[in-house]
Amino acid sequence: MRQVVPPLPPQAPRIRNRFWPWLCRGLLRLGGWQLKGEFPDLPKLIVIGAPHSTNWDGVWGLLMKVGLGIDISIMIKRELLDSPLGIILRPLGLIPIDRGAATDIVQQMAARFAQHERMWLGITPEGTRKKVTHWKSGFLRIARAAEVPILPVFIDYPSKSFTLGAPVYLGQDERDEDAMVRIRALFRGYRGKHHNVDVD
């Protein structure tokens, strides 16, 4: 039987539970999904996944996260955690975000990184399931404020896989526009359930 998930490096934040990872790995096998590549041995980073074209991305992504036994914090709309689904979602390490609040999400996340010895934060840079021509720059601004690298994860429905890329480090004098072009180009060739990532 093929390996669904690779082993975690020593510095990766972990979920201290055996049953749920075992169950999620079983569901991933049934669904035919796998994870390719190796995780970097880093205590702090931002994980970005694309292309995001369906709610199923979140389902398979959460199964993969829990199946790995890795503690990746994920920002989602507060409305979802306030709904009945919150009972299931809250224990999974999801961070509620109030998009209408007059608060600086970038500084909130940077403060979270500073408060933890180990923290991996998951973000969907497209910000929506619809096909977009421009990504939201929040993940870049958080990475700069927290001084952490970015780990690209490529979603590919034809091969039913999540592929881990190499960590991306932002240049001190690199403009966000240039960094965005550089990072988006890495996703060329991967296809979501309904679309791929357009690269200018």
pTM: 0.85
pLDDT tens-digit series, residues 131-158:
767 888 999 999 999 999 999 999 999 9
Between CA 57 and CA 53 the distance in angstroms is 7
Q: Where are the domains of the chain?
A: 19-185
Asked whether 199 and 189 are in contact (CB, 8 A), the reply is no
Q: Is the torsion defined by CA of 22, 12, 183, 58 positive or negative? A: positive
DSSP state letters, 62-100: HHHHHHHTB-EEEEEEHHHHHSTTHHHHGGGTEEEE-TT
- Mind listing the pLDDT tens digit for each residue in 83-124? 777 676 666 667 777 665 545 888 889 998 999 999 999 988
Give the Cα separation of 113 and 106 in Å (integer). Answer: 11
| Least-confidence region, from 107-121, 122-136, 161-175, 184-198 | 122-136
* H/E stretch holding 83: none
Average pLDDT over residues 170-192: 93
106 in Cβ contact with 113 (< 8 Å): no
What pLDDT score was predicted for residue 79? 76
